Amino acid sequence: MQQIIIKTPAKINLTLEVLNKRPDGFHNIQSIMQLIDLYDYLTITVEESEEQEIILFGTSDEIPYDERNLVYKAAKLFFDFLSEDEDSYFREQKFKININIEKNIPISAGLAGGSTNGAGTIYGLNKIFNEVLPEKKMHELCSQLGSDLNVCLEGGCLLATSRGEVIEKLPFIDNKVSLIKPVNLGISAKEAYTKYSQIKNKPNYDFTHKMIDSLKIGTDIKQFLYNDLETAVFNDYKELQTIKNIYPDSVMSGSGSTYFTINENIKPLENYWVKNGLKFIPDGVSEK
């Protein structure tokens, strides 16, 4: 039996700009994503078995512990890929995989909680099996599973394009960050993108490239923080309006409903989850 514990960090979108809708139903975006030191933890245990099994359990009652979970999908994809080779050890040998998911990243919050768990699963299984996959192949598997997994696997500050799986490293700058989220409000990516598609006069600020220029010369990035999806959902939720009224410099991450501030603490607020004392980190999923 082998066991490993993986730290899977949350991400925030410093910018998120929607370019157009793709034939496959996804949207092309340009987004600067930054990993932060808010972690879920995966305890992955693998042992040889007569039958292939993936068993999930954990601390949250808000996520499924079955084939709907990205952790399950990632584990299955990892072993399916390795068993494709007729001469592969993985074609003949079966494994029992137990994965305990300790959730600290809020659900449906725009922080890539599911994606980072999926990326961490591929990373952790690859560590257990002596890095049988090169980094490039891990990224290929991540891109098959979703839009943010590659960002979480790579870590740091990244430009994400296409549907979010094409990434490019950007200069890393230390910053402190605070998060605030309405306790009982989660917004799905589907809802946010659908509402954005209904906007007639879509914004076109190109804050992403303005921020890239700012990162390269080391100037303050706060003036370029921006999210198209915030524009799409903001008027529908009083909870979001409350955050913006109290913290006008805050910006929504991903499809929401989490907002963040840079170098500004957030005071406790009834019916809101608040997390201060976080910071930008230069890495992604990693072994604890």
Residues annotated catalytic, as ranges: 11, 148
Helix (H, G, I), strand (E, B) or coil at 86: coil
What whole-number distance in Å separates Cα of residue 19 and Cα of residue 39? 30
Question: Residue 187 belongs to what H/E stretch?
Answer: none
Residue 7 token pair:
């730290």
Query: How many other CB atoms are found less than 10 A from the CB of residue 116?
Result: 31
Pair 71, 56: CB distance under 8 Å: yes
Check residue 192 and give left, alpha or beta (phi > 0: left; psi -120 to 50: alpha): alpha
Q: Amino acid identity of 73? A: K
End-to-end CA distance of the chain: give it in Å, rounded.
18
Cβ neighbours around 140 below 10 Å, total = 14
Closest by Cα among 3, 2, 11 to 285 = 11
Cα–Cα separations (whole angstroms), residue 196 to 19, 204, 236, 250:
11, 13, 12, 20
